[in-house]
Chain A
Amino acid sequence: MEELVQHLTPILKEIWGYIFPNEIELHWGILIVLYPYLTGLVAGAFILASLVKVFNVKELQPTYRLAMLTAMSFLIVAPLPLLAHLGHPERAYEILITPNSTSAMAMFGFVYAWYLMAVLCLEIWFEYRRDIILWSQKETGIKKWIHKIVSLFSKDISEKAVHFDKKWVKIITIIGIPSAFLLHGYVGFIFGSIKANPWWSSVLMPIVFLFSAIVSGIAMVLILYMIITPFRGKELDILCLDKLASYLFYVMIIDFSLEALDFVHRVYESEESIKILAYLVSNKLFVSLIVIQLFMGMLIPLLMIALIKILKSPPDLKKMVYFISAILVQVGIFSTRWNIVIGGQLFSKSFRGLTVYKITFFGLEGFFAAVVIFCLPFIILYILTKILPPWEEVRNP
């Protein structure tokens, strides 16, 4: 009892107005912020990859395979924050073996499995199959066996078979686009369908999630491409960068418009929650929403990319601006997730008070756990690029 009081007393001092007793502690912390951020990167990177195959944007070819591997590495890590958040992670598999079709959250396991196996793995397999077979023929030792297993001991590299691969890459990408929309729209749907929470409950939520996901995915591939290429001693393809920045710009405009529409709709509708939400935005979320999400993460990058395009700048300046913009966009999108997940729990359902979120540093749900989980996809990506190099020069002619 004393311990509980000691724990609650400092939090009580920071509470504003009236809150219900069970609202003092937030149940969803930084890990649940990280989760939609990671799945967003997956969906965004995949949509970027699909631009090459479905919409035939040739300039983006250098980033196609990298985008696929990026999506894969982030998708593998995406469930980890959820697992770390669970009270009994060892029971997580039960969600798959006892499917509950009436629960949106419970069915997510199948959406995830579909996306991982039927879309990403399959597309990467068809895309790399010919190369893997050719690599394994030249290699020896463990690498040869890894490639043989990954290719499922496939041997056929006749023109007909390769043509079949290409056709299927295209078909899977076409199936993959609605799947990517499903994967991330689904995360937005889970928040958007919580009708008791006016900050979350919005039909626009899935689509806002989706476009912010595409923004973050394109920006992440741009960052990775700009960091990895000089490390490999290669030249950055400025045409590819220009195209990436253009798409980033267009999708950001759509994302901005959707968020503005959501904002105007809420203000015009002025439901009973509007006063507490306005207070939330102008106080607890001022820095993370107005300063970081809106200005740093949206308006400044938009302005920078627009200026650089209008002024026809030299390539080096362009590269610097694109890179800084993409970093700002990442910070902004992470902040978007923060504002949705944490913001939605900061105000009382009585609409008369605000609580606080005290982030812990250690422990399974703490800041360091989140940092470790965020770093994992980059390690996985490094390993994937060793097994399935996405570089143009290692492709077999």
Chain B
Amino acid sequence: MKKFLQKIPEQVKRLSILLVVVVVVFIVAQSLLTPKDFGLIGHFRATSVQNNADKKMQYAGQEACSDCHEDMWKIKNAGYHKNLSCEVCHGPSLNHVNEPDQFKPEKPMGRNFCPVCHEYNPSRPTGFPQIVSASHNPRKFCISCHNPHNPTPPQTPKDCSACHAEISNAKSVSSHMEIPCTKCHETSEKHRLSPREFLPTKPTQREFCGQCHSKDAKSDISIPRINMETHEPRYVCWQCHYPHLPEAQ
């Protein structure tokens, strides 16, 4: 044994001692530092579930608001903001529920807040009310004209572009710019007040576009013509051509 030990180079002996020290330190550290409840129910501390449950609550939920503010809650739930919880605008308000006099919820007044959702953005769904805040009554607070609990516009929108700005912008530079929206979409007057209940129609027949674009149509000579019988007869025109900007590829 002694002979065997002598044969081992000095470097290996010293490094082996160091390696043993490192491994022992690691094992001791692991046994001392690993939390006792680690791994009981998964690769984490079991008590971390309780720690998270113990965190201070911030939000009360809108049912709590309705206990005292039922009138406001009913108005909100009947209007366009029915899917928003009260605390979306008023901020986390559990403190207010517990001590109503001491803590007051926030009331966002400035012009910064509403445009977070209502600033014009081409990617927002068409029909979603959008404004360009720089030009939309720039010196007024939103709440001076709009009631956030019942945000029906103060005036019924006059033009389609009030809600369908993206389509209107596209159409305004297209060869269809002079065709009024109602030429293709039959729209009930009620759509202006209840847009989702009274939806406008869309052309469903090829012949509708054919009124101007078929080869025997009595329209202006500059309008492009097609043979309605041979030109993709299985499709309605707008399945391939975007009618608000027919030039688009």
From A1, A98, A155, B106 is in contact (CB under 8 Å) with A1
Q: Mark B92-119 against chain A: 1 for CB-CB distance below 8 A, else 0.
A: 0000000000000010101011001001
Interface residues of A in 8-39 (CB under 8 A from B): 8-9, 12, 17-18
Is A153 in contact with chain B by the CB < 8 A criterion? Answer: yes
Q: How far is the CA of A117 from the CA of B15 in the complex (A)?
A: 11
Q: How far is the CA of A268 from the CA of B38 in the complex (A)?
A: 49
Which residues of A lie under 8 Å from residue B26 when comparing CB positions?
96
Tell me if B38 and A154 are in contact (CB < 8 A): no
Is B180 in contact with chain A by the CB < 8 A criterion? Answer: no
Report the stretch among B28-36, B61-69, B239-247 that lies at the interface: B28-36
Beyond A1-B91, A18-B123, A152-B18, whether A97 also contacts B30 by CB under 8 A is yes
Tell me if A17 and B122 are in contact (CB < 8 A): yes
Is A62 in contact with chain B by the CB < 8 A criterion? Answer: no
Tell me if A152 and B91 are in contact (CB < 8 A): no
Please, how many residues of chain B have a CB less than 8 angstroms from a CB on the other chain?
A: 30
Is A249 in contact with chain B by the CB < 8 A criterion? Answer: no
From B10, B33, B116, A8 is in contact (CB under 8 Å) with B116
Q: How far is the CA of A353 from the CA of B123 in the complex (A)?
A: 9
Beyond A1-B91, A97-B30, whether A18 also contacts B10 by CB under 8 A is no
Is A156 in contact with chain B by the CB < 8 A criterion? Answer: yes
Is A352 in contact with chain B by the CB < 8 A criterion? Answer: yes
What number of A-B contacts does a CB cutoff of 8 Å give? 67
Which residues of B lie under 8 Å from residue A8 when comparing CB positions?
116
Q: How far is the CA of A12 from the CA of B147 in the complex (A)?
A: 24
Is A387 in contact with chain B by the CB < 8 A criterion? Answer: no
Q: Mark A79-116 against chain B: 1 for CB-CB distance below 8 A, else 0.
A: 00000000000000110111010000000000000000
Is B9 in contact with chain A by the CB < 8 A criterion? Answer: yes
Is A263 in contact with chain B by the CB < 8 A criterion? Answer: no
Is B22 in contact with chain A by the CB < 8 A criterion? Answer: yes
Beyond A153-B14, A154-B10, A165-B11, whether A5 also contacts B108 by CB under 8 A is yes
Is B47 in contact with chain A by the CB < 8 A criterion? Answer: no
Is B211 in contact with chain A by the CB < 8 A criterion? Answer: no
Is B201 in contact with chain A by the CB < 8 A criterion? Answer: no
Beyond A100-B43, A154-B11, whether A5 also contacts B18 by CB under 8 A is no
Q: Name the residue on A nearest B106 (C-beta).
A: A1
Tell me if A1 and B108 are in contact (CB < 8 A): yes
Which of A1, A5, A168 has the largest number of chain B CB atoms within 10 A?
A1
Q: Name the residue on B nearest A122 (C-beta).
A: B15
From B11, B18, B116, A129 is in contact (CB under 8 Å) with B11
Tell me if B30 and A161 are in contact (CB < 8 A): no
From A93, A122, A152, B33 is in contact (CB under 8 Å) with A93
Which residues of B lie under 8 Å from residue A5 when comparing CB positions?
108, 110, 112-113, 116
Beyond A5-B108, A155-B10, whether A12 also contacts B33 by CB under 8 A is no
Interface residues of A in 175-213 (CB under 8 A from B): none
Which residues of B lie under 8 Å from residue A6 when comparing CB positions?
112
Tell me if B43 and A2 are in contact (CB < 8 A): no
Which residues of B lie under 8 Å from residue A168 when comparing CB positions?
11
Tell me if A154 and B34 are in contact (CB < 8 A): no
From B14, B22, B116, A117 is in contact (CB under 8 Å) with B22
Is B137 in contact with chain A by the CB < 8 A criterion? Answer: no
Q: How far is the CA of A157 from the CA of B110 in the complex (A)?
A: 79
Q: How far is the CA of A17 from the CA of B166 in the complex (A)?
A: 13
Is A391 in contact with chain B by the CB < 8 A criterion? Answer: no
Tell me if B9 and A161 are in contact (CB < 8 A): yes
Q: How far is the CA of A98 from the CA of B22 in the complex (A)?
A: 17
Beyond A5-B112, A152-B15, A156-B11, whether A97 also contacts B29 by CB under 8 A is yes
Which residues of A lie under 8 Å from residue B116 when comparing CB positions?
5, 8-9, 12
Q: Name the residue on A nearest B17 (C-beta).
A: A152
Tell me if A98 and B43 are in contact (CB < 8 A): yes
Closest CB of chain A to B48's CB: distance in Å? 11
Q: How far is the CA of A69 from the CA of B15 in the complex (A)?
A: 20
Q: Name the residue on A nearest B113 (C-beta).
A: A5
Is B172 in contact with chain A by the CB < 8 A criterion? Answer: no
Tell me if B108 and A97 are in contact (CB < 8 A): no
Tell me if A152 and B43 are in contact (CB < 8 A): no
Q: How far is the CA of A153 from the CA of B11 in the complex (A)?
A: 10
Q: How far is the CA of A2 from the CA of B113 in the complex (A)?
A: 8
Q: How far is the CA of A347 from the CA of B34 in the complex (A)?
A: 40
Which residues of B lie under 8 Å from residue A152 when comparing CB positions?
14-15, 17-18
Is A225 in contact with chain B by the CB < 8 A criterion? Answer: no
6 A-B residue contacts at CB 8 Å? Answer: A2-B110, A6-B112, A18-B121, A97-B34, A98-B38, A152-B18
* Complex A-B, nearest 5 residue pairs according to Cβ-Cβ distance, in ascending order: A18-B123, A1-B91, A152-B14, A156-B10, A97-B30
Known: A2-B106, A98-B34, A152-B15. 11 other contacts (CB 8 A): A1-B108, A12-B116, A18-B121, A97-B30, A97-B34, A125-B15, A126-B11, A152-B14, A152-B17, A164-B9, A353-B123
